[in-house]
Structure 1
Amino acid sequence: MSYRPVLVSSLFLFLFAVVGSGLVAYTHENTVELIHDNERRALLKSLNELIPTDRYDNDIFHDILYVRHKDLLGTAKPVPVYRARKNGWPVAAVLAPVAPDGYNGNIRLLVAIKLDGTLAGVRVVQHRETPGLGDGIETSNSDWILGFNGKSLENPGKEGWKVKRDGGQFDQFTGATITPRAVVKAVRNALLYYQIHGHELFEEHPGDTTGK
């Protein structure tokens, strides 16, 4: 009995597996880099929507401080703070907290806070909320998120930092209260964090980690 056909078939399958694995690895490597590049572009676009480029002259994307505070920032993991400066002077801090109690899980935010503690704006950078209901937190679907512009802890005050259904001043969406409630709470908590730690945020060098 000849084993040659079996050996040839085995060799062919081996080579096919090696080539296939190599193509998968190559595709994955290039796809991951493309995804990361798209994420960086989207993040920088959101940062520049919150803090216009004429307001700062540093490399905001790399002037980062990592902080921790599970209660006020929504996660036990380090949270980046992007720092805007003009001629070396602080302009604003953009925190990236998490609203952990969205309807379908975590909602990741950018919360831009000016030196005086007022909001320059808020953006949602990642979520899994229900399309047509909770996705009204996206600027592409609604201007709801723009309602945070200019707000502070004092405006609208402690009782105002809730959705209207809970006695506050922020609208909820028709058929979806959990999502806006989670975002309002997370933004208020970010402001509380800034009230406590804001004076520390520009004292560290880029890439440092501090906080609770």
Structure 2
Amino acid sequence: MSTEYTAARTSIRTALILTLFASLFTAAMALTYRYTKPAIDTAVAEVKRKLIAEVLAPESYDNALLDDVVTVLAPAELGIDEGSLVYRARKRGEPVALIVEARAPDGYGGGIDLIVAVGADGRLTGVRATAHKETPGLGDYVDPRKDPNKTRPWINQFVGRGLTGSDTSGWKVRKDGGDFDARAGATISARAVIAATARALAWADANQHRLFDAKTGERITAAANAGAKP
């Protein structure tokens, strides 16, 4: 038996063994995913519910909020190129609020992901930073979990705010002539969140009827708002 023939048989046997192990590993991973996915989905849903409860009181709506959702494709006002999820809160079938995913692209450490809850009356019921890279101990106060002031977190000053028409002139930090407080030495983070929130609020208010009327699970392209960007 030639050396070449022996080497070829060895290579084929090795390839077959590797293929078998790869197939078994893939099958094991598929089974693991199949049996753990429900638990993972439940855990993710619970995290979402807790986060949404921070911006919208659970007793204010009675629909299955996490299922009553549409995807909005790349509205510039929301800052998320891949598209934003918009959850619709209703009570006895009537619109209560929209919970909108948005992003402030110009934080000190980069993008700041937000959820912005806009009531049917056009006023904010809450805002939360969900992901960011702001400087620890300085600009990360935009996240209430990092804000040292636990009794009056900085981000709670958005609650109850609305717009007069498309006027966003007051949506700035006080040192820029606006209506919002900011922590000394860390105004870039505040500016980014304030501006992104104003854009999301104006956009959600302008598109409210279309968003509530869209079919659950629908992917839509909503019109831009007419307001000036702060």
- Shorter-chain TM band: 0.7 to 0.9
SS at match of 2:169: helix
1:51 corresponds to 2:62: no
State whether residues 74 and 221 of structure 2, in contact with CA within 8 Å, keep that contact through their aligned partners in structure 1.
no
Give the conservation status (yes or no) of the 8 Å contact 1:43–1:125. no
1:126-137 superposed matches below 5 A? 126-137=131-142
| 2:137 alignment partner AA | G
Corresponding residue for 1:211? 222
**CA distance change for structure 1 residues 18 and 195 in 2, over 3 Å: closer, same or farther?**
closer
Cα deviations by residue, 1:162-207 (Å, 9 ceiling, x for unpaired): 0112111111222211111000000000111023211111111111
1:162: which partner in 2? 172
Distance 1:82 1:165, change over 3 A: same
Kindly indicate whether residue 185 of structure 2 is the aligned counterpart of residue 178 of structure 1.
Answer: no
Question: Which moved further from structure 2: 132-141 or 37-46?
Answer: 37-46
**1:78 corresponds to which of 78, 83, 104:** 83
Deviation at 1:34, TM superposition (A): 7.6
2:109 matched to 1:104? yes
Residues 1:166 and 1:26: Cα distance change in structure 2 (over 3 Å): farther
Task: Please report how far the alpha carbon of residue 153 of structure 1 lies from its aligned counterpart in structure 2 after TM superposition.
Answer: 1.2
Cα distance in 2, alignment partners of residues 178 and 201 from structure 1: 31
Q: Shift of the alpha carbon at 1:160?
A: 1.1
Over alpha carbons, which structure has the higher Rg? Answer: 2
**Taking structure 1 as reference, are residues 175 and 198 closer, same or farther at Cα in structure 2, changes over 3 Å only?**
same
* Superimposed CA distance per residue, residues 134-163 of structure 1 (whole angstroms, 9 cap, x where no aligned partner): 1101112330000000001139x5321001
Q: Distance in 2 between matches of 1:159 and 1:187?
A: 13
CA distance in 2, matches of 1:127, 1:32: 27
What does the per-residue CA deviation read over 1:85-123, in whole Å, with 9 as the maximum and x for residues that have no partner? Answer: 111111110101111111111111110001110001111
* Equivalent residues of 1:161, 1:188 under 8 A apart: yes
The sequence identity of aligned pairs, in percent, is 40
Aligned to 1:4: none
> What residue in structure 2 maps to residue 148 of structure 1?
158
- Partner residue, 1:187: 197
CA distance in 2, matches of 1:33, 1:103: 38
TM-score (norm 2): 0.75
After TM superposition, the runs of 4+ consecutive aligned structure 1 residues lying more than 6 A away are 16-36
Rate the CA distance shift 1:22–1:203 in 2: closer, same or farther, 3 A.
Answer: closer
List gaps (5 residues or longer) in structure 1.
Answer: 1-9, 11-15
Change (3 A) 1:131 1:31: farther
Structure 1 residues 36, 137: CA separation in 2 closer, same or farther (over 3 Å shift)? farther
Residues paired across the two proteins, number: 207
- Alignment root-mean-square deviation, CA: 3.2
Aligned counterparts of 1:18 and 1:108: Cα–Cα separation in 2: 39
Partners of 1:30 and 1:133 lie apart in 2 by 43
Name the amino acid aligned to 2:141: G
TM-aligned CA deviation for residue 42 of structure 1 = 2.5
In the alignment, what sits opposite 1:87? 92
Relative to the length of structure 1, the TM-score reads 0.80
